[in-house]
Amino acid sequence: MALDDQALKDHYREHPIDVSWLNKPSQHVFRWRTNDNRWLTAKRRVRDHASFVKAIGNSAPRDVYVSTASWLNPIDLPRLRDNPEHYPVLLDHFVVFDIDVAPFSIENLAKAQSIACELMGWLEEHENLLLRSVSFSGSKGFHLIYDDPAREAFALPDLKEREMAVKAQRKALLDRVVEAGFEVDTKVTADTRRILRLPGSLHGSTGFACTRIAVEMLNGPLEDLLSTLYRHPSAPDIPERVDLPPVETSTKPKPAPASQPAEPWFKLRVNTHVQGTKNRHVLMMWLPKSWGAPLEAMARALEWIEDDNLGPCSFWRHNERLMMLCPLAIPRPKLVKMYKRRDLPLSQSKLKQREHQWTSLSPPEVNGLEETEPELMGIYGVAYEGMPLYSRQHLELERRLGVHRDLPSHEVCGQVEPTFEIVSIS
């Protein structure tokens, strides 16, 4: 689902955001993302819906977020790595748990609801926290937001030491929650610079509003909860379930005995640079083994596609590894930032240091030409209005690998022929 700018502007004129759960909204950072994937930050304090409308000006927010921390001055907040001369004054930080089960479906929302309810019970029994707010995220799950009555860290006079102490406390709590077996987003709770989807705002991918809900509603039937939620009139129904394609497993071939001389083997690699453009690349990679089993890795990739508006991306499988190709022509600095947000330091480092990057068409651990080719799984993701141009040569690569897209010439850029190289490894 994709709403045009005018539909988004109309929504925020007619439907107020919800800041009633914040003690002082003016001490929080407000950020939003537009249809062309630009990130904007409020340059004035937001106190209510009227001041929010003034802050967004003529922009059309596709997704709206608020900081989980409050600051003495939230305007132009420096980043942690900036090492500013005047360190920002951290006043408070919510304890936030983000529970998501991807992809977006009734079946997975029921799982997320169960996790959220069980986690709330566990926290009530084991931790000294005060529940502040519960929200449906607008997509795959729920946000649990708590206050921590322990205020010692916020009294530390050294402002950097204060923030680090709060982060350490949140990390210790997160570790206890994870050790107890709860599946939560591990990047949210301990991050004092984290932003969270704002209640009352539309989720740009689903059309549902992020909505605060009562605890009784969270503990009740999911059908009753969903019936109370606002969604944009053009938003599609939530699918009952989304079946990821099955991924077969097989036993890895045994390595040759040490006594035998090593046979040379070859790899065919393709360049991710969009030839004919100045500094654009496609996102093409084998999903990390650290992302888990194939279905887990696939779920994380689908979340990435949704979060960064990557549109329809193609996937192939080879035994237990998955290859992902998003043929959008993405500016190299932007793609580097994407890799950083997904905690992919090797891809981030390679693309940051070089003007080109190579991706093998066979998985990293495969040796030898006798191996079977990757098997096409299909295309996943939704196109939206105003997407960047596609790489012509990587669409051609997709075509040779079994994916056929019919795109008009004004939506593509770059040369036609993919750039390959054959690497011999002894």
Helices 159-179, 106-126: axis angle to 10 degrees equals 110
pTM of the complete model beyond 0.85: no
Strand order in the sheet with 95-100: 95-100, 141-147, 130-136, 211-212
First to last CA, the chain: 49
User: What's the whole-number mean pLDDT along residues 393-410?
Assistant: 87
pLDDT tens-place string over residues 79-116: 777 777 789 999 999 999 999 998 889 999 999 999 99
pLDDT tens-place string over residues 29-47: 999 999 887 889 999 999 9
User: What's the whole-number mean pLDDT along residues 399-407?
Assistant: 85
pLDDT tens-place string over residues 365-381: 544 433 456 788 888 88
Q: What is the pLDDT of residue 380?
A: 85
Q: How far apart are CA 224 and CA 195, in angstroms?
A: 29
CB atoms within 10 A of CB 249: 9
Q: What is the pLDDT of residue 246?
A: 58
How far from chain centre, in Å, is Cα 188?
A: 12
Q: How do the domains of the chain map onto residue ranges?
A: 5-227, 265-425
Given pLDDT bands bounded at 50, 70 and 90, which one contains residue 70?
Answer: very high
User: What's the whole-number mean pLDDT along residues 183-189?
Assistant: 91
Give me the CATH code for the 5-227 domain, please: 3.90.920.10
Q: Residue 305 in contact with residue 244, Cβ under 8 Å?
A: no
Q: How far apart are CA 134 and CA 18, in angstroms?
A: 12
Given pLDDT bands bounded at 50, 70 and 90, which one contains residue 281?
Answer: very high
Q: What share of the chain is helix, strand, coil (3-state, %, to 5)?
A: 30, 25, 45
pLDDT tens-place string over residues 218-240: 999 999 999 999 999 999 999 99
- Please tell me what DSSP assigns to residue 240: S
**Is 247's pLDDT higher than 70?**
no
**Is 188's pLDDT higher than 80?**
yes
User: What's the whole-number mean pLDDT along residues 153-182?
Assistant: 95
**Nearest in space to 280 (alpha carbons), one of 382, 360, 359, 389:** 389
Helix (H) or strand (E) holding 113: helix 106-126
pLDDT tens-place string over residues 321-352: 899 999 999 999 999 999 988 988 888 888 88
Q: How far apart are CA 348 and CA 339, in angstroms?
A: 5
